[in-house]
Amino acid sequence: MAEDRQEEGQEQKGQEEGGEDAAPRKKGIVLPLLMALVASGAGGALGMTLLGPAVGPWLAARASQPKAEKGHGGHGGGHGGGGTQRLHNLENVVVNPSGSKGTRYLLVSVAVEPYDPGMVEELAALDVPLRHELLAILGSKTVEELSDIDQREGLVEELKEGLGHIVGEDVISRIYLPQYVIQ
């Protein structure tokens, strides 16, 4: 019995020691986790307040550059194999047709081909006024007018004339509608 008491005493002593060892281990895990949480919160706050405002305008300017200027080896978006871009693309223009009360929309991409391929850069510089004119013309049409395939060529001519008022009457050779979706 004396041996049993001695073993129980050693087990209790071991448990107490294990309990003391367990507490520092838990504290040892909690502290690094707490530090990691504080560091990621501080990093996120610094990124939003310092890095975001500094990098945001740069990213926006890069996104608004024509694709030919962005990377190397671009195809230029035009016809043929030359490096000169022959079309100015006004992509993903979304407009609510007249009378739709916002329940319907037209998603359209318009490619403008100037007579002189050198004018593509000038067209790119006028991207915002060109988009505005597209919205005005397309927004004045009803869903029925925009859906009627027989009126599509007339619409293309109207777009050519409207955009011609902005860039000059003898600048635009053709207008293409590579994307035309009504929902």
Residue type for position 160: K
- Residue 8 pLDDT > 60: no
- Residue 114 pLDDT > 80: yes
Q: What is the pLDDT of residue 50?
A: 64
Give the Cα separation of 169 and 162 in Å (integer): 9
pLDDT digits (tens, 9 = 90+) for 71-94: 444 444 444 445 568 999 999 999
Structure letter (DSSP) for residue 151: G
Q: What is the pLDDT of residue 108?
A: 94
Q: What is the pLDDT of residue 41?
A: 74
Q: Is the full-model pTM beyond 0.75?
A: no
Give the Cα separation of 101 and 55 in Å (integer): 38
The terminus-to-terminus CA distance of the chain in angstroms comes to 89
- Residue 70 pLDDT > 50: no
Mean pLDDT of 49-69: 57
For the chain, the average pLDDT equals 77
Alpha-carbon distance values, 23 to 16, 31, 32, 34, 63 (Å):
11, 12, 15, 16, 54
Q: What is the CB-side half-sphere exposure of residue 125 using CA atoms within 13 A?
A: 6
If one compares 121 and 35, the residue with the highest pLDDT of the two is 121
Give the Cα separation of 40 and 22 in Å (integer): 27
